[in-house]
A and B are shown apart, each in its own frame.
Chain A
């Protein structure tokens, strides 16, 4: 069964396993200014993202809580690292960049330094049934920062 192993490791890269095991910025963020839920009804994944945006429109801090598979948790954890310190508009465009990266067959574009770690999610492209796990947090980010009242879902 060894020939199946490399593929699996491409999906479950070390960084993904690490972030799913030890999610960064996990928990509720007091005095959050923006928050949104992400729900994947198919898997039962549920995430809540929190952001505190300062007066100048910069994301001061981010956090998330919830439950889900390794891919969805790692993705949310990586997200909080990537967008903290960004302008709201820049964070929203990250969301678009990552969603496109994971859902299209286009060649991988270069990523800005702060998004570099998100390459760890590239493996999901080969797993159509798992792409939604990786994009869930990014949908929620988009919803939080546009202050949608509806939870983001993958459906």
Chain B
């Protein structure tokens, strides 16, 4: 079934990723864990290596040639990111260590000074812990309340319920663009539209949005958009906080140090302009260079092309998995990215993960840092196959064959 439908392009893309070309337990690797961390194309690996070999120095501080080159490379990557998500200005691109830091920055710098007891932060039931715990912390610090919009058994955010929870005390809405555990594409456009009308800022956790969708923050009209480099085929330890310029401008710095200041004396320190105000200390320069290369790489294929290809592959995966006896699909939203959680018979997800690993198939097992989702579905964890554009129909065939094998073993 799979072989004839395999597209030439995916095979070509796959060849760009050196890590995919290996055997695990004697079987060619099938990597179905990109939602946890995506592999990096040679273009990213090489960009980082050549930066390290030839251009490395600290940024923004030296007059010498290498420092200049490093600064160009680092700031060049910021420009690429701005273009990638279509932000209005490079001042709106704050480089962080990842989605987690981006969200914490908003919680601590934007929310904490303004939140009053009784104010509310509204999130949804399908959030990653990174979009739950920072809000719990700031609620504890300020006496604000965390309010959670429900999901349904398909794993969709219930839009009407969410909108019904919006009242004058809601200070900020935080929600995922795409659920990492369920693959659900959330109705962020509608939420943002309603929130805008009421003047409520919205933060989108785009960790899973950016690798799968063509994200345009101006079209979305959100106030914050957070994402991670390593989920979009770039290096770990890199990430982005997009923030609307006027909002970022009004926020105090959240960490102090070098680079984020214009002038320091013991009487008074003048903070640097955006976005440097939020980038204290020497940043992850080589990582950011790699992030820039990842943007170049993705743009050379085109996010729309990627989204179209992945959608087909996703539908194929779901169709094949549905035909496996004993299969329980968890997450069946009508709008979904190429991620599928499932359970097979009563086999524990960790057992299944080990058995699949033995056949060279890498999936994620457990709670996926989304324990409330697991609680909703009444399970301790799930198996999750997450696809990128470097996956093929063959990979799905291998997954299904490996699952059949697991059933035999546990029969």
Contacts and interface: CB of A to CB of B under 8 A. Distances in A.
Partners in one complex: yes
Q: A interface, how many residues as a size bin? A: 20 to 34
A43 to B, nearest CB: 5
Interface string B351-368: 100110011100000110
Contact of B381 (A7, A43, A133): A43
Contact of B359 (A4, A11, A69, A130): A4
Given A42-B366, A44-B367, A69 B351 contact: yes
B358 A8 contact: yes
Contacts of B402: 1
Given A1-B402, A43-B366, A12 B351 contact: yes
A70 B354 CA distance: 11
B380 A44 contact: yes
Interface string A40-52: 0011110000000
Contacts of A44: 366-367, 374, 380-381
Contacts of B359: 1, 4
Given A44-B367, A44-B380, A70 B405 contact: no
Q: B interface, how many residues as a size bin? A: 20 to 34
A4 B26 contact: yes
B27 interface: yes
Contacts of A5: 405
A130 B25 contact: no
B380 A8 contact: no
B350 A8 contact: no
A151 interface: no
A67 B351 CA distance: 13
Given A44-B374, A69-B350, 4 more contacts: A3-B26, A4-B360, A12-B410, A70-B410
A71 interface: yes
Interface in A7-23: 7-9, 11-12, 17
